[in-house]
Amino acid sequence: MLFIYNLREFLKVLLLLSLVFSFLLSLYSLVDILLLYKVSAPHIIPKAILITVFSSFYYTAPILNCLALMVYMRRVFKKSYDRLSYSFGISPLRFFMPVLMASFILSLLQLALSYSFYPKIFKNAYAIEREFKKGKAKEELVLNNFWLSLGEGEKRAYVRIGFANLMDGRVYDVFSVYLQGNYIYGVLYAKEGLWKDRSLTLIGAERSYSDSGLKEKKDITLEFISVDDAKAFGEKLSHLRMDKLISLYSLASSLGMNRDVYLAELLLRLVISLSVLALTLPLAYHLLKERSFLKPSMFFLLYIALYILSLNLIKITAQELGRSPLLGALPFFVLVLLSFRSLYYLGKGFRV
């Protein structure tokens, strides 16, 4: 009975806060559409509002869950349900278990939705903003100054494509260097070409060989990566399904590209999902121990700062510093350690 009662009361508060949050976001989105959108499109209003709500909930779910916990615990302290439970030998962990289970399910739901649902939401949000807010045409899939390496062992080729329109397969300004060990034995250049499936056909390509001094100019077809893989490389990382991110992470290593940026996006989704638990557990420990809100609120602000700091550092370490994004996740690892510590003391119990 206690489990069901606590679960019901917590979910009621979480649902109410989520509805209020959604209502405020809907108003903001509506004002944004009416005042800032350059293209008049009334039919886009419901879709834009839903996209704003879902995309915001993705990042703020851990914070909303904690706010719901604080409101719920205020009711508990007011009626001394926690002290009454302890008098019957119920540990703080057992008392908190309904909230813990709800938070765990929310974490799993966030992780499941980040597989393909949230990426689709972010992609639609980007398309709507570009087309209706900025008044631009729908974005074409293009690559600019795209580098990759091909081959294995001693023989490798480094290819640079100046510009590629992946919608029609046209490529321009293609340059390739062929190496054996550290020795350059060939250079290739073409002003234009056609990329189809796994074939890159270069029109009027100029190729020269270092050993013989031979130079030739003719159409050349190279075995290349598929256009579908290239489209994924050209998309924003937040728009990609999780299975595609894993595929690109594996493929980037063989192509000589920075695969840490794909690991960073995977890590971001994991951190955001697990932060529902990582923020809720330490906060619950402080609330049940202090039976007040001032000190726990200060800790809550600190935990939010660690959460936001971790999200930013994961991106910075991979994209700007070229280091492993695991270094950027250190603030989140601190939250995880605090969560295990809180779980231990909740199970052990303490004087209230």
Taking only the tens place, the pLDDT of each residue in 157-180 is: 778 888 888 777 888 888 888 777
How do residues 199-214 score in pLDDT, each as one tens digit?
888 888 888 877 767 7
Q: Give the whole-angstrom CA distance, residue 150 versus residue 157.
A: 5
CB-based contact 334:279 (threshold 8 Å): no
> For residue 156, what are the β-bridge partners?
179
User: What's the pLDDT score for residue 110?
Assistant: 95
Q: Give the whole-angstrom CA distance, residue 134 versus residue 39.
A: 8
At 17, the pLDDT band (50, 70, 90 cuts) reads very high
User: What's the pLDDT score for residue 77?
Assistant: 87
At 350, the pLDDT band (50, 70, 90 cuts) reads low
Mean pLDDT confidence for 306-334: 91
Exposed e or buried b for every residue in 59-68, given b needs 16+ CB within 10 A? eebbbbbbbb
pLDDT higher at 182 or 11: 11
Is it the case that residue 144 has pLDDT exceeding 80?
no
How do residues 277-298 score in pLDDT, each as one tens digit?
999 999 999 998 888 889 999 9
User: What's the pLDDT score for residue 62?
Assistant: 95
Is it the case that residue 87 has pLDDT exceeding 80?
no
Is it the case that residue 120 has pLDDT exceeding 60?
yes
How do residues 209-243 score in pLDDT, each as one tens digit?
777 677 888 888 888 777 777 766 667 788 888 98
Q: Give the whole-angstrom CA distance, residue 194 versus residue 128.
A: 30
Is it the case that residue 39 has pLDDT exceeding 60?
no
CB-based contact 205:199 (threshold 8 Å): no
